[in-house]
Amino acid sequence: MKNVLIVVDKSESSLWLAYYAMGLTRRMAVNVSILMVVDEEFDGIEDDGEWIGSPEKRLESILAEGRSEGARLDYYVVRGRMEEEIPKFIRENNVTKLFIGAPPSGRQSLYSKLMKVIDAVNTTTRCEVEVVQKVSAHGKRK
């Protein structure tokens, strides 16, 4: 059985990955962990006023919904630099596949951070990395 890690951050836009994780548990025989990394370097970088309550509580609510529907998920929160905390979690938990969200277009600092994370994972672990992008089933709204 594969050990899968889905990484989210404090941005509202990354929470769709929690729904992605719940879908994985329904389709495949995998152990799924969700890791919320609170990276102080980027704390608030995407804060656009969307949050009602804390990001952690919002994620817990989404996961409770999934568990009530039979999703099998573990949830962790760590504080620190993403490029350090993600590879550390992968090594400690024998993660075989990492799913991480692509940053919104035009956010060069977030893209650079993603590349640092991928490089750290590739050089310090044997974990496969898949960068996923949120796609709307409704297309773009005008």
> Is residue 138 assigned to a domain?
no
Q: How many CB atoms lie within 10 A of CB 35?
A: 23
Of 125, 104, 21, which Cα lies nearest the Cα of 65? 21
CATH of the domain at 107: 3.40.50.620
Q: How many distinct structural domains can be found in the chain? A: 1
DSSP 138: T
Q: How many CB atoms lie within 10 A of CB 116?
A: 14
Q: What pTM was computed for the model?
A: 0.79
Of 58, 55, 74, which Cα lies nearest the Cα of 9? 55
Cβ contacts of residue 68 below 8 Å, gap of 6+?
Answer: none
> Is residue 142 assigned to a domain?
no
- Quick one: pLDDT band at residue 122, thresholds 50, 70, 90? very high
Domain that holds residue 48: 2-132
> Is residue 139 assigned to a domain?
no
- Predicted confidence (pLDDT) per residue in 41-92, tens digit: 765 444 444 445 576 777 777 777 766 666 678 889 899 999 999 999 999 9
